[in-house]
Chain A
């Protein structure tokens, strides 16, 4: 045990002491925030950076030329059809001043067909603008054509949008407003966290194994301890590194959240202790009903979710980390490693996609199966968790996961103890099977 402790401590200190660890720990949250902010920023710059483009509207119908209103992006100029005998020539003569030409045919009332021409590719927002505005106008025109007085008003008033609240009872019948979106976000965040963690730290383990092997230090180490101790020391040490990183992020988020809360909505946020709460609240801070949102965020029952998350996280990590260690010991150089890990990464990607697919139907057969199979369950179950998974399924899935993880550790240990001492040639799958049996 003393040796294991030493190995864990060394692994931990070496990685945490690296500059790259400190940089990555600080950089990843920033990058993630940038990623979230990027779409908004792009949209913002798209909408404001350029001047509005001019679009000619040739109105053969004589009624709808002015139907399309300008917006920030486009300025529409209605023209009477008889002033423009040839649309293409007209476009040419404009010398690039025109972005496009819209032709509203004379029979548009019956066909509802309109064409937009340009020598450039016509962008989506223009098409949307034209079709939405004309659809509205044409609909109104058609309604009016029935000659029923007040029909338009009736239609307007009879259009209903249902405001669906979902309320979850607890045992005592107390009502808690829940939000599927919040549950979904929590599940996805946890699934993604598991996925990232396993891949990131799995790769770290593998690189460590390969480094020791190419360094040849491994021979000295295993003359002092069992290969199994070295492997487990590495796996546990790296796990602790990951948890440290996670803890740092949680603290950072909480600090950022606390600052945000004092700036934006002190009362509402003081209730939100959790990371998700802070995050969701931050995003929504100025245009939502803060208290309501926070209540929804809090209504998800976190304790069982977090407990299961930790269990799945550890099990899944153990399973994949041991595979990475085993594969790492069987290859000679980092360059061969990517080939060896392709199957592992593919399984992880499948798990992530399965998890996303399960959002649609978190208790459907696919979700249930994928949350049972140990290789996908750590990711998929995270998505299902907020939707109250039956206890027997949880138990079965966890038992399966840990049994498989134990099996993987056993197999990896057998590959490892042989692989680390063999240099200079590639090992066939058959050979590796022999190591496992031996």
Chain B
């Protein structure tokens, strides 16, 4: 296993009497895309602000590369907050260079890198336009560039896809994956579960200021599977219920497969063998719960 890049250890944060983070632990391996999930108000933004050193935790510590974080370390972080914002009256190029230099980049380096990125997003001709002249989507791209321009080793994206149309969202996703491939570690805060399944390897689910679920996306899905199998028959025959082996589930919204749930203790092979004896099977596969379902289930029961 690769070494840990960010370790959050037993972090507690209180605001005016209410607990925003209650003994939170988080381990983000280097080069990983890590999902930070949770409903609004769960404490995601508080945690992100602590990692960014915008606010300080009441207790606990945050390590970067095994060492407690210092103020200088924020130069290695790129942060895209959920609420986007730029100086409207500033020119696109100047603004990106300014933000890059605040992160410690040299003037020349910042300017050259800014031009590369603008070219990559087809924004070259906008370099000397004011931000207020940009469309919302373009402004989002400019902000993305400002987030990644200083080649941070840790990227923190808070709801990165909100406000992007599908084409741009796809482009953004490809860029994020490319940055990961170049070695960046990515922390993704979202309540959009589809994007989690698409890109995240590991997640932490935060609810009511606590981590309620943590681990690899695949493993979590296995843990939460409910022995549901989608069975497809040849022709239009319907599957009858079987008290001993499985129960029938309501048909899914799409597809013509029938979903059956195995009774406890029933082996998949037994059920399939029985079905194979009685019906002409066209195919079957195990249905894993979506992150969305796990999310809702966990948040409800917690």
Give A residues with C-beta under 8 Å from B: 2-3, 6-7, 10, 14, 18, 212, 215-226, 421, 423, 431, 434
Determine whether the beta carbon of B86 is less than 8 Å from that of A215: yes
- 16 A-B pairs (CB sep. < 8 Å): A6-B98, A6-B101, A14-B89, A18-B89, A215-B85, A216-B81, A220-B81, A220-B143, A221-B102, A223-B53, A223-B77, A223-B79, A224-B74, A224-B102, A226-B71, A421-B49
Known A6-B102, A10-B98, A431-B16; contact A223-B52, beta-carbon cutoff 8 A = yes
Residues of chain B having any CB pair with chain A under 8 Å: 16, 49, 52-55, 71, 74-75, 77, 79, 81, 83-90, 98-99, 101-104, 143, 146-147
Contacts of B98 in A (CB 8 A): 6, 10
Tell me, in angstroms, the Cα distance from A18 to B130 when the chains sit together. 13
Say yes or no: A220 contacts B85, CB within 8 Å: yes
Write the chain B residue with the least CB distance to A418.
Answer: B55
Q: Specify the chain A residue showing the minimal Cβ separation from B78.
A: A223
A226 to B55, CA, bound (A): 10
- Measured CA separation A220–B85 after assembly (Å): 8
Q: Which of B16, B55, B101, B146 contacts A220 (CB 8 A)?
A: B146
Main secondary structure on A side of the interface with B: helix
Best-surrounded residue of A215, A221, A224 (most CB of chain B within 10 A)? A224
Cβ–Cβ contact B99 & A224, under 8 A: yes
Please name the residue on chain B nearest to A224 by beta carbon.
B102
Bound-state Cα–Cα, A421 to B55, Å: 10
- B150 to chain A: closest residue by CB: A224
Give min CB distance, A360 to chain B, whole Å.
47
- Tell me the bound Cα distance from A220 to B49 in angstroms: 11
Least CB distance from B300 to A in Å reads 27
B146 CB, nearest partner CB in chain A, Å = 7
> Please, how many angstroms separate the alpha-carbon atoms of A216 and B99 in the complex?
14
Interface of B is mostly: loop
Q: How many A-B residue pairs have CB under 8 A?
A: 60
Nearest residue in A to B143 (C-beta to C-beta)?
A: A220
Across the A-B interface, give the 3 residue pairs with the lowest CB-CB distance, nearest first: A216-B85, A217-B85, A215-B85
A135 to B: closest C-beta gap in Å: 65
Residues of A within 8 A of B86 (CB): 215, 217
**Cα A176 to Cα B74 with chains together (Å):** 63
List the A side residues contacting B89 at CB < 8 Å: 14, 18
* Minimum CB distance partner of B17 in chain A: A434
Known contacts being A6-B102, A222-B54, A431-B16, is A14 close to B90, with CB within 8 Å? yes
| A219 and B101 contacting across the interface, CB-CB below 8 Å | no
Given contacts A220-B81, A223-B74, A421-B55, contact A215 B87 (CB under 8 A): yes
Contacts of A423 in B (CB 8 A): 83
Contacts of A3 in B (CB 8 A): 102
**Interchain CB contact (< 8 A) of B87 among A18, A217, A222, A434:** A217
Contact pick for B83, options A7, A219, A222, A434, CB 8 Å: A219
Give the distance to chain A from B171, nearest Cβ to Cβ, in Å: 21
Query: Chain B's nearest CB lies how many Å from the CB of A83?
Result: 78
Given contacts A216-B85, A421-B55, 12 further A-B contacts (CB under 8 A): A6-B101, A14-B89, A14-B90, A212-B87, A217-B86, A219-B79, A220-B143, A221-B102, A223-B52, A223-B53, A224-B103, A423-B83
Complex CA gap A56/B69 in Å reads 94
Q: Contacts of A421 on B, CB cut-off 8 Å? A: 49, 54-55
A219 vs B71: C-alpha distance in the bound complex, in angstroms? 16
- A105 → chain B closest CB, angstroms: 74
Bound-complex Cα distance A14 to B102 (A): 16
Docked Cα-Cα span, A220 to B146, in Å, equals: 9
Q: Which residue of B lies closest to A13 (CB)?
A: B94
| Chain A residues near B83 (CB-CB < 8 A) | 216, 219, 423
Nearest CB of A to B109, in Å? 14
Docked pose: A15 CA to B71 CA in angstroms:
30
Chain B residue with minimal CB distance to A217? B85
Q: Which residues from chain A contact B88 at a C-beta distance below 8 Å?
A: 215
In the bound complex, what is the Cα–Cα distance between A400 and B70 (angstroms)? 36
Q: How far is the CA of A283 from the CA of B186 in the complex (A)?
A: 70
Q: How far is the CB of A5 from chain B (nearest CB, A)?
A: 10
How far is B146's CA from A431's CA once the two chains are assembled, in angstroms? 34
- Taking CB as reference atom, which chain A residue is nearest B88? A215
The smallest C-beta distance from B145 to any residue of chain A, in angstroms, reads 12
CB atoms of A219 and B102 under 8 A apart: no
With the chains together, A434 CA to B14 CA distance in Å?
A: 13
Determine whether the beta carbon of B85 is less than 8 Å from that of A223: no
Q: Which B residues are CB-close (under 8 A) to A14? A: 87, 89-90
| Least Cβ–Cβ distance between B76 and chain A, in angstroms | 11
B54: contacting residue among A2, A212, A223, A431, CB under 8 A: A223
Which residues of A have CB within 8 Å of B49? 421
Q: In whole Å, how far is B177's beta carbon from the nearest beta carbon of chain A? A: 23
Question: In whole angstroms, how far apart are the Cα atoms of A123 and B81 in the complex?
Answer: 68
* A220 near B54: Cβ-Cβ < 8 Å: no
Task: Collect the chain A residues with CB atoms within 8 Å of residue B90's CB.
Answer: 14
Q: Which residues of A contact B85 (CB under 8 A)?
A: 212, 215-220
